[in-house]
Amino acid sequence: MIPFTYAVKEIRRRKYRTAVNIAGFIIAISTLITLVMAARGWETCTKVPLNSIGTDIILFYTAPVKPAGTGCYIVNHLFSYPFNQTLLTEIEDVPDVECAVPILMHRLRAMVFTGIDPSETETNAVLPSSIIEGRYLTAHDGYVALVDNEYAQLNNLTLGSTVTYAADFEVVGIVEVSATNIMKSHIYVNLPIVQEVLPEKPVGLVNMGLIRTSSPGKVEKTATALEDEWPNSSTLTGSDLAETAFGVIQINEDTAWSISIALAVITILFTIKSQLSTVAERTKEIGILKAIGWSNSNVVNQIAIESVIQGIIGGLLGCALGYIFASYVLSTIGGEIGGALNFITIDPIILSIGFGISMVSGIVAGLFSSWRAARLVPVDALRTI
Amino acid sequence: MPTRNIIEVSNLSKTYRKGSAGEVKAVDEVCLEVPEGQFLTILGPSGSGKTTLLNLIGGLDKPSGGKVILDGLELSKLSEGELVRVRREKVGFVFQAFNLIPTFSALENVEVALAPTDMSKNERFERSIELLESVGLGQRAHHLPVELSAGEQQRVAIVRAFANKPRILLLDEPTGNLDTKTGREILRICHEANKEQGQTVVAVTHAGYVRGYTNRLLFMRDGKLFSQIPQEEFEEPV
């Protein structure tokens, strides 16, 4: 255990240098964890709310459209006026638009009542995959509804029960809709029925279009094209949603990794430089060790152990600090989208990777500097003061 | 039966380049044979090449010419690994400046020489304590070098050199940093090792009183060895 004892003594002897080295590891690792988790949170803000319902763009009108209808609250603070459903057929002719699905969402106090076209099973306010009990709607359905599981439990609704919103509906399916689903409603009914039963009688009208594009790279371009073509319309994309999530570092995960890896490389170089200075200060000691029969590998092990110990301490503290920072950053995600993303937790794999990078950095720095130390000729090393 | 030579040095040279001064021959065509069990002392003024010669004999430095045969092994033909084994198993060094590791206790400074061997932790500990006790430092085993007197530090350095039971002990100015009384004590320890365990000792020094402990004296000046000792080299009556 001499090498370990020696390493601990050296670390204690060079407190300042050790502290600086460890601080380097802490900064690199905690930054990595914070950035990656924040980026993941931001990407979730960007993608999950829309992607979970298979759409890229939500189209709506914030000003009355002729023929005028009554506005309905939709997502959070967005207010959408009804527009003619045939508009969506025109939208489907726009380049890069794969489909435009009609939605009529009506809100009465806290209750949200949504009309959907059940023939659209890939992009819709609620998808068949959300069914946990009963069945999905069909185009021929009349006064039947899907109800949200939470709402059903609160109101003791089961299959066959009756739920009331402007009319009575028989519950044929219970759906589990994630809090991240921006279209989360209490009741889903066939669109023509909703148009028929609402007091405003918005026959042939909808107040949202869910638009799917041909590729993720076309989303922003298509949204702009739609707003240009229909000047009074507004679009909501993943990026718009992310901007409403305050307090989040708006970078993607690839960028976060790139920054983190660059930081890790800088840390390795810094630690190598620092360890080389340590080796330079201990040249005579290394000469003594070689004179009394230590081999090059003994010397390499010795110096590398010191560096690895620093890497381990730095990695553990970096992970702990990263966990705290990332927890704080993630707790701020949500904002305008109602804390819907609080489900994001710190990934233990990221912590492990952070710790691993710290260890590897310690090993690389240790091996490089110890290799330099091992090459010293004993007599030259002994001559140093 | 004649004693075999444990050290054989032939035409050994070491040349340094010193900037505009050109080449300096620290060791110049030295030939030397040291029979096993001999206590050889090489006297000479500072800069005469004594330490360089000792470093070459111990495999700490590489010669510019000539060869060193140590216990039958020609050093220049050994690999780095084999040279490490020679330094670990056949040679024990004692330096003028003690060269102890400052963060290690006396005990650990001895143990560190045993660390690369196959000995267990307990064996290393017992051997180190036994050695320290043999030079009266049993009670000082856990003291750091800075807490020891110069004589005590040199005794630790000597037992570190003894740790691996080397057949050759190389002493580089072992009394250089000590007063005469302490210096004599150090030489007595080396003398006993030479007499009782048959270790071959080569000491380089400019302290004349070493004569009383040695059985062969040589003189070195300007990198060359002489068997005649100039009287002025003795600083004090023997």
pLDDT in tens, A27-36: 888 888 888 8
Q: What is the pLDDT of residue A189?
A: 96
Q: What is the pLDDT of residue A64?
A: 75
Q: Is pLDDT of A126 > 80?
A: yes
Q: Is pLDDT of A367 > 90?
A: no
User: What does chain A come to in residues?
Assistant: 385
What is the crossing angle of helices B150-162 and B180-197, to 10°?
A: 20
CA pair distance A331, A344, nearest whole angstrom: 9
Q: Is pLDDT of A75 > 70?
A: no
Q: Is pLDDT of A335 > 50?
A: no
- Is residue A136 very low, low, confident or very high in pLDDT (cuts 50, 70, 90)? very high
Q: What is the pLDDT of residue A344?
A: 59
Mean residue pLDDT of chain B comes to 87
What's the mean pLDDT in A107-117? 87
What's the mean pLDDT in A312-335? 80
Strand partners, B40: B202, B216
Q: Does B81 contact chain A (CB < 8 Å)?
A: yes
What's the mean pLDDT in A185-193? 94
Contact (CB<8Å) B164/A3:
no
CA pair distance A112, A148, nearest whole angstrom: 10
- Is residue A47 very low, low, confident or very high in pLDDT (cuts 50, 70, 90)? low
Domain assignments of chain B as residue spans, ordered by start: 37-60+81-229
Q: What percent of chain B has pLDDT over 70?
A: 94
Question: Which is more confident, A103 or A241?
Answer: A103
Q: Which residue of B has its CA nearest to A7?
A: B103
To the nearest whole angstrom, how far is the Cα of B233 from the nearest Cα of chain A?
26
Residue B47's H or E segment, with its range, is none
Architecture of domain B37-60+81-229: 3-Layer(aba) Sandwich (3.40)
Q: What is the pLDDT of residue A282?
A: 78
- Is residue B57 very low, low, confident or very high in pLDDT (cuts 50, 70, 90)? very high
What's the mean pLDDT in A168-177? 94
Contact (CB<8Å) A1/B121:
yes
Domain assignments of chain A as residue spans, ordered by start: 2-48+247-383, 63-231
Q: Is pLDDT of A331 > 80?
A: no
Mutate to test the interface with B, among A15, A18, A286, A288 (most CBs of B within 10 A): A288
Cβ-based neighbour number of residue A13 at 10 Å: 13
Q: What is the pLDDT of residue A203?
A: 86
Contact (CB<8Å) B160/A298:
no
Could you tell me the two tokens for A270? 């810094």
Q: What is the pLDDT of residue A256?
A: 73
Q: Does B108 contact chain A (CB < 8 Å)?
A: yes
Q: Is pLDDT of A85 > 80?
A: yes
Mutate to test the interface with A, among B18, B79, B101 (most CBs of A within 10 A): B101
List Cα–Cα distances, A164 to A108, A113, A115, A192, B222, in angstroms.
12, 10, 14, 17, 113
Phi-psi region of A334 (alpha: psi -120 to 50; beta: other; left: phi over 0): left
